[in-house]
Structure 1
Amino acid sequence: MPTHLSNILKTSKQLFDSFFESYTKELFFPNTRITEACLYSLRAGGKRIRPIFVINSFFSPTELPLETNLKKHKSVYLASLAVECIHTYSLIHDDLPAMDNDDTRRGLPTCHIQFDEATAILAGDTLNSLSFYLLSLLETADPTAIRDSIQILHQGAGIRGMILGQMEDIEEEKNPSTKDQESKLTSIHEKKTGALIEASFLLGNRLRPDWEERKVVISSYAQEIGLLFQITDDILDVEGNLEDLGKTPGKDAKAGKLTYPGLYGMETAKKLRDESVAKAISLISDLPSLNNEFFLGLPKYIAERKN
């Protein structure tokens, strides 16, 4: 990974984590079993990749602050925390016995193993509702920005996005289709993985004054990043190990899930991954405000990640 991109990712994560640690002290007070479960899952590690998408869709690399200013640009951090809450809720529920039934997440016991199943369900519910509350707190001179941001997150995480993708994935696992599997695979992952990734990019972009002129390109780029992310995830589920992944590898194949290596074979899956990298880069090449180290370097970083 290029040094400059590495620094951008590191700085962005530090900005988010600094805001997260200070803001959640009041957000999850007083301490109860349910707040403990929420914080356990939120603090369980991870690369904070979706908050990083929010932050870098707002800042250009040359504008990225070197130190956290919790009052200046607070809305950017609120939006990034909202996305992380939604993502973490989805992981908590995804790990439940009725879903993927996993006992390890990010190298730690999953929420329902550390606490219990009922507490995990309620922790997920808490984080889901909390994310939309956080967006209601956005500080912006544009009266439509809060409304748009709530709609963006709902589009990515709700009944037309992540939730629908998860439902399609469950239905496919229970009753595998024999026809049009390519379209089914694309549909599942555009919604289950890609929709929230696209929402992350669009949320950060919506807070900029020039958001309208960037929206279409940002959306297309984000959709390609979502596809690339899932292809890479599917490859890692076959080739990865528990230490690197922080979760049980090989579960998709055992569960009979529809995946890129399973449908196309590993060689073709890797070819599709590489083609997706090239396409993502080409999408932003003609827009100066996006033609920078973060947007150019991100596709290759995602394709080469180990977890």
Structure 2
Amino acid sequence: MNYMEEFHRSIEISRKAFDGYFLPKLQSLFSTFGDSRVSEACLYSLEAGGKRIRPSIAINSYAPYLHSVEELIKDKNYEDILLIGASLECLHTYSLIHDDLPSMDNDDLRRGKKTNHIQYDEATAILAGDALNSLGFYLLSLLKQDLRTVKDCFQILHDGVGLPGMISGQMEDLQEEGKAKRSLLAENTDPVDKLLSIHAKKTGALIVSSFLLGNRLRTDFEIRQETVKSYAKEIGLLFQITDDILDVEGESTVIGKTSGKDAKNGKLTYPSVFGLEKAKQLRDESKEKAINLGKQLGETASPFFLGFPEYIAKRKN
């Protein structure tokens, strides 16, 4: 079995373990909150599917050599790594709900279904996103770890989805589109630097958090941390370049969201800055760099770390 076959097996195992846990856990939680339109809207977006990439990253960062779901179930941190995955998926889904709002990207299709504000209404969608944001952090509070580990996990997650990461990236993206006023402190107008800044925060930061959260539950987390972080940053870059290319070349029915919107909205993207062919070259260079960084993990460089860059670069949705 080559490393790509082993990679796909690892993805399948982690997704199977996560899917068997996630929706029943969330449905049970929402049932304790009482019936409400907001709860219904939250579950609508959570149940819409998605690739569960971030939970899979966390699981495989923690357990790089998965051979079966049963093997993961026997692990002492089994429920905690799935709680981390659930937290990441809630926060990622919140970001999608808000990203699709009329004041943001104004999209009507997500994961192949009507976006939350189209299915419900804008006010409900805003509150559903708010609910999933707070729920993501609540799930981390359920970790059965020592205080230092839990504190570190909260910090890692905040760095990804809070003001240091995704929120600032979204703000910069909206400013570039002219949908929000520029900060008086913003001096850097170089489009390449701005492009890298936006996507390192808007897309890359939560991907980095996903890798670091899984790694944090390992006993050898400190030894691996810097290499995992460098690898994760490159994966975030690769993910965004590929996403930008798909917006140009992909079909809405395949990518699960409206294609061609980046150019229509005047977004700062890799194809708009470098051209499509150069963007593809940058994607391939990023893929190779990520693979080489994965190899630096030595004996813990699993087929997941080696296969993931290839998987992202070739994805169609």
Aligned residue among 105, 114, 131 for 1:109:
114
Distance 2:258 2:84 in 1: 30
Structure 1 residue 63: deviation in Å? 5.8
1:77-126: per-residue Cα shift (whole Å, max 9, x none)? 00111010110000000001111110110110000111111110000000
Distance 1:139 1:63 in 2: 24
1:17-55: per-residue Cα shift (whole Å, max 9, x none)? 111122123211133211111111011111000010010
5 Å-filtered alignment, 1:170-249, equals 170-174=174-178, 179-249=189-259
Distance 1:241 1:275 in 2: 25
Deviates more, 1:222-231 or 1:109-118: 109-118
Contact 1:19 1:68 in 2 (8 A): no
Contact 1:83 1:131 in 2 (8 A): yes
5 Å-filtered alignment, 1:68-217, equals 69=73, 72=76, 73-140=78-145, 142-174=146-178, 179-217=189-227
Q: Does 1:258 align with 2:263?
A: no
Query: Residues 64 and 146 from structure 1, CA distance in 2 versus in 1: closer, same or farther, beyond 3 angstroms?
Result: farther
Letter of the structure 2 residue corresponding to residue 149 of structure 1: C
Letter of the structure 2 residue corresponding to residue 27 of structure 1: L
Distance 2:66 2:291 in 1: 19
Distance 2:118 2:271 in 1: 30
- Give the structure 2 partner of residue 56 of structure 1: 60
Query: Residues 99 and 70 from structure 1, CA distance in 2 versus in 1: closer, same or farther, beyond 3 angstroms?
Result: farther
Letter of the structure 1 residue corresponding to residue 123 of structure 2: A
Query: Residues 180 and 57 from structure 1, CA distance in 2 versus in 1: closer, same or farther, beyond 3 angstroms?
Result: same
Contact 1:155 1:195 in 2 (8 A): yes
Query: Residues 217 and 32 from structure 1, CA distance in 2 versus in 1: closer, same or farther, beyond 3 angstroms?
Result: same
Contact 1:15 1:67 in 2 (8 A): no
Distance 1:63 1:108 in 2: 33
Contact 1:19 1:70 in 2 (8 A): no
Structure 1 residue 243: deviation in Å? 1.1
**Unaligned regions of 5+ residues in structure 2, if any?**
none
Deviates more, 1:104-113 or 1:2-11: 2-11
Number of residue pairs aligned between Structure 1 and Structure 2: 306
What is the root-mean-square deviation in Å for CA atoms of aligned residues?
1.8
The share of aligned pairs that are identical, in percent, is 58
- Give the structure 2 partner of residue 65 of structure 1: 69
Q: What TM-score, normalized by structure 2, do the two folds share?
A: 0.92
Structure 1 residue 60: deviation in Å? 1.9
Contact 1:78 1:135 in 2 (8 A): yes
Letter of the structure 2 residue corresponding to residue 74 of structure 1: E
Structure 1 residue 4: deviation in Å? 1.9
Structure 1 residue 179: deviation in Å? 4.2
**Unaligned regions of 5+ residues in structure 1, if any?**
none
Structure 1 residue 62: deviation in Å? 4.0
Structure 1 residue 66: deviation in Å? 3.7
Contact 1:60 1:289 in 2 (8 A): no
5 Å-filtered alignment, 1:277-292, equals 277-292=287-302
Structure 1 residue 290: deviation in Å? 3.3
Letter of the structure 2 residue corresponding to residue 252 of structure 1: D
Distance 1:96 1:23 in 2: 27
Structure 1 segments, 4+ long, off by >6 Å, are: 175-178
Letter of the structure 2 residue corresponding to residue 147 of structure 1: K
Q: Does 1:46 align with 2:56?
A: no
Letter of the structure 1 residue corresponding to residue 19 of structure 2: D
